[in-house]
Structure 1
Amino acid sequence: MEIDHQELEILFSVLVATILSGLVGYERENKDKPAGLRTNMIVGGFSCLIVSLSLPLIDFVHNYEFQEAVKADPIRILQALVVGISFIGAGTIIKQNNDKVKGLTTAATLLYCLGIGVATALHKYLIAVGITLLILIINYSFSAVKGKITGNSEENEGVK
């Protein structure tokens, strides 16, 4: 059995996306949010996997002469990923009796991990690392700044 270098590249990309998304998930986990470490890791890794497999899928379709029946459109893959991850994110949003909403940041963070996965799948590792750092700065720093401005810690606020 010969080692397929494309498969190794895909596995490496999925690993990188999973680790980077895990850093984001760790922050969510530390704040006791509904979608924590594992969920963010799975979202980032899965999105990377699906985007990474799109090229071999297109090659497969063309090799078996299905190209007349199937037109390759990578935007549809991204669109399906956004819809699917948005559905998962919607499950993290809770409206409380006092009309306060919790979980919006967690839902948005899941979408951000989708972006990490897509960037990694496209071998844009600098972008993937950069946006990982950016979401960590957003989630760590701005919640602390908001707490200082409003005089409330994030845990005591109704909106998270």
Structure 2
Amino acid sequence: MAEPELGVEETIVWRVQRGMRIFAIGAIVVFALLIMQVAMVWGYYATIGILLVLGVLFQVYWQLLRPKLTATEAGVDVVSDWKPVHLEWADIRRVEIGDKGLTLIRADGSAVHSKVPHAAKPNPDKSPTEQALAADYLTRRANWARKGTGIKPTYEAPKA
């Protein structure tokens, strides 16, 4: 389950869970130290191995540490694929829940995929998952931005 961070000016950021981020950063540090040791001992003879490990470290960063979904007053920023995407609130028509994250459907019918918050196992107490809460909030906020009536929706984080 992704972990939302409430910030200044009504900014909400969803990322991979803190434990997974700490594990990924620890793995990157350990492998970086090993690469330095191998480079000092073997020199340029270890180039191929070093490049392979650097490729793995890049994938850990790209798949675990980089993806995020940010909701601000200006719209939604999705960082999941090669190019980050900014969506204006009024451009979002609906948000669909999937096994690999959320899909934001735009007014022109195109879709933007966010890896976080990703699907979680159903809660035993039948409370809504963070993915469902985020999708509901994003949809309500986009509808409010288009219509401009009523009270602006707020995000309610899941109970721990």
Q: TM-score, normalised by structure 1?
A: 0.29
For CA contacts below 8 A with separation 6 or more, give which structure has more relative contact order. Answer: 1
Which of structures 1 and 2 has the bigger CA Rg?
A: 2
Q: Which structure: greater strand fraction?
A: 2
